Amino acid sequence: MTMTFDTVLIANRGEIAVRVARTLRELGIASVAVYTDADEAGVHRRAADRSVRIGSYLSVDDVIAAARAAGAQAIHPGYGFLSENPALARACADAGVTFIGPPAGAIEAMGDKIAAKATVAAAGVSTVPGSSGAGLDDAALADAAREVGFPVLLKPSAGGGGKGMRLVDDEGGLADAIASARREATNSFGDDTLLVERFVTNPRHIEIQVVADTHGNVVHLAERECSLQRRHQKIVEEAPSPLLTPQTRAAMGQQAVDAARACGYVGAGTVEFIVSSDRPDEFFFMEMNTRLQVEHPVTEAIFGVDLVEWQVRIAAGEPIPKAQDELTFDGHAVEVRVYAEDPARGFLPTGGEIVGYREPDLDGVRVDSGVAAGTVVGSNFDPMLAKVIAWGADRAEALQTLDRALADTVLAGVTTNVGFLRRLLSLDDVRAGRLDTGLVERHLDDVAERSGPDAAAAAAAAAIAPLLERASSADPWTALVGWRHGVERSVRREFDQPGADRIEVIVSPVGDGRWRLAGDVTGEREVECAGSLDGPSAIVVDGVRSAVTVDRRGDTWFVTVGGDTWIFDEVVHRGNDDGAAGGPGDGVVRSPMPGTVIAVPVEQGATVAAGQTVAIVEAMKMEHALTAPVDGDVETVHVAAGSQVALDQPVVTITPAD
């Protein structure tokens, strides 16, 4: 090819910046990363050839200045941040830098959901019934909702990702939903414009990958199913969809191509549709994402292409590498998003330092990540840490391979959703392809909490690991684990676990790698330890062999079993800590995650009822209402709007009425 770029700046961070840098290296193009002060240790800096400090990932001026300083001829925006901001596309044109993405006009046409629906409808694309007027006030929105008929979906016109989206089942909750949606839309996108759509029952989220060049060619690369979501955000994506027939796939693909042509699209983009499980041949346009999607690897896996390479080639003026009739797919691919979040606490964001990080090494598995051991996960950025993608000859094989890959994934030090994803993928409905966007919520109680024998294996590993560590010490005195003249010595270990009761385990070495344990979690049983617990090892409990990985930070032991990580703090006997979490009836309202307080609608002395909102905390661009656990009077307000709060930090203290 005739490539016109020798240096490309990547205006992003995390796993997508690492992924783009990989393709640029394969193309022989130098990559330049950008980073902020909060991201100085970012893994993406090491993945690129050079890096430039900027003030903000959201500053067009900073990005353009960095490109000029680095001598870059083009900018790849990744996804998120400025990727769908027409101001960056225009600034690139003004600066003589190529924007690896669509024209500003196409971004604007598809970036406003109201305008997008009108544009594609004029091209004959099917759209969801709902409001089509711009700038509707609260009363007009309410009238439109009544006209469409409940349930309805409120959606910000200016953005996506589930932020600001509200499902309203009846008129009683409409006013509060509109106010909350506007507030979150303003905070996330700087625009509180909302639209209202009919909520499709048993909905499935299916999207079509399209690619267009500057020579008038537009193709589609079939579909991805993204129906498994939490809080309207995708967590599992696959290609192809188990729902669509070849006829529906062709019809949907053609409408996606028509939508791309209607807005003068260039580059890689995605046209999203909503399809009812009850009427799989009926589909409606939702929106067009004018960028590369997070889930693009599943399309790459079944088509055998590199979409980032295609983006770069098209931006350099080349035609699409393949014609529509040359694009055929093979097999099946499934991707999961690994988030720093706690499924057992409503998917609230988590944080901390990653103590141990290990990726699976299996045929047919790809991992895109932006973290490493030592990475500190904070509340400044999106909580997605990595993506695990598995390919198989068919859907069953892909799911089986993905399950093995997740079982081999270790992300210790930060609570993640890895174990949750394994349990989700094992559900009968998921295995059978009976998907819809409400499935995760319906089965949340079944998959959010850890269960099974893994807890005993984790406790056993935590109890044995300190003894094995000391046994391997060069100090002969600390190496004498369990040694006592003439008798067997038992060792008592006590651990605190986050959100759980203190556990006690009595460990007695038997010999030959075997130990006798007695405790609340382990029960009385004999345990065999295969290996040193220094890296991947195994614990055999009652004949059940579990792969375990143990990581340590100070007196805290992180034991990963089957994708779940248990945290054990060795107990050093001391008095009660002031920061110990109170019980649900103690009247202390604590922040369930690190974040920023955006509102405190109560004052000291106010009388509140159980369930009443007393503070609103924002984390990762999502609002979380904190409510009073009891009836009573506000004794102390510990924070103010704008305050930064840590996990479990007291926000409001209430004196119970009784």
Residue type, 378: G
Please tell me the predicted confidence (pLDDT) of residue 76. 98
Please tell me the predicted confidence (pLDDT) of residue 586. 64
Please tell me the predicted confidence (pLDDT) of residue 215. 97
Average pLDDT over residues 119-138: 84
Please tell me the predicted confidence (pLDDT) of residue 488. 46
* pLDDT greater than 80 at residue 484: no
- 271-294 tens-digit pLDDT: 999 998 888 888 999 999 999 999
Structure tokens at 395: 């859907």
pLDDT band at 503 (very low <50, low <70, confident <90, very high): confident
Average pLDDT over residues 408-413: 95
Please tell me the predicted confidence (pLDDT) of residue 132. 62
Average pLDDT over residues 199-205: 88
**Average of per-residue pLDDT values in the chain:** 89
pLDDT band at 582 (very low <50, low <70, confident <90, very high): very low
Please tell me the predicted confidence (pLDDT) of residue 219. 98
Residue type, 347: F
The H-or-E segment that residue 1 falls in is: none
Neighbours of 400 (CB within 10 A): 15
- 292-312 tens-digit pLDDT: 999 999 999 999 999 999 999
Structure tokens at 175: 């006013």
| Alpha-carbon gap, residue 38 to 394, rounded angstroms | 42
Please tell me the predicted confidence (pLDDT) of residue 481. 39
pLDDT band at 584 (very low <50, low <70, confident <90, very high): very low
More confident site: 617 or 225: 225
% the chain with pLDDT above 70: 92
Give the pairing type, strands 218-230 and 203-212.
antiparallel
| Alpha-carbon gap, residue 426 to 447, rounded angstroms | 9
Contact of 522 with 460, CB cutoff 8 Å: yes
Phi, psi angles (nearest 5°) of residue 253: -60, -40
* pLDDT greater than 60 at residue 2: no
Sign of CA dihedral 281, 287, 292, 294: negative
* pLDDT greater than 60 at residue 557: yes
Query: Is 579 exposed, middle or buried, given 0-12, 13-18 or 19+ CB atoms closer than 10 A?
Result: exposed
Contact of 416 with 341, CB cutoff 8 Å: yes
Say how many residues make up the chain: 658
pLDDT band at 368 (very low <50, low <70, confident <90, very high): very high
Average pLDDT over residues 189-217: 92
In angstroms, how far is the first alpha carbon of the chain from the final one? 77
Please tell me the predicted confidence (pLDDT) of residue 470. 64
| Alpha-carbon gap, residue 61 to 63, rounded angstroms | 5
Average pLDDT over residues 19-25: 98
Structure tokens at 636: 């102390």
Phi, psi angles (nearest 5°) of residue 271: -105, 120
Least Cα distance to 603 among 636, 630, 650, 626 occurs for: 636
Contact of 628 with 609, CB cutoff 8 Å: yes
Structure tokens at 45: 């800096």
Tell me the H-state helices in 231-294.
Answer: 246-262
The H-or-E segment that residue 560 falls in is: strand 556-561
* pLDDT greater than 50 at residue 12: yes
Structure tokens at 562: 């089957």
Please tell me the predicted confidence (pLDDT) of residue 510. 81
Structure tokens at 13: 């961070």
Q: Beta strands of 301-457 (E only): which ranges?
A: 332-339, 341-342, 348-349, 352-353, 356-358, 365-369, 376-377, 384-392, 410-412
* pLDDT greater than 70 at residue 50: yes
Tell me the H-state helices in 133-189.
Answer: 138-148, 174-189
β-sheet bridge partners, residue 271? 208, 288
β-sheet bridge partners, residue 8? 31, 74
- 328-360 tens-digit pLDDT: 999 999 999 999 999 988 899 999 999 999 999
Please tell me the predicted confidence (pLDDT) of residue 374. 94
The H-or-E segment that residue 328 falls in is: none
| Alpha-carbon gap, residue 59 to 61, rounded angstroms | 5
Cis bond upstream, residue 349 (ω within 30): no
Contact of 640 with 600, CB cutoff 8 Å: yes
Enumerate domains of the chain plus CATH numbers. Answer: 7-100 (3.40.50.20), 131-198 (3.30.1490.20), 203-447 (3.30.470.20), 454-570 (3.30.700), 588-656 (2.40.50.100)
| Alpha-carbon gap, residue 99 to 162, rounded angstroms | 26
Q: How far is CA 605 from CA 375, 582, 615, in A?
A: 43, 21, 15
| Alpha-carbon gap, residue 267 to 564, rounded angstroms | 39
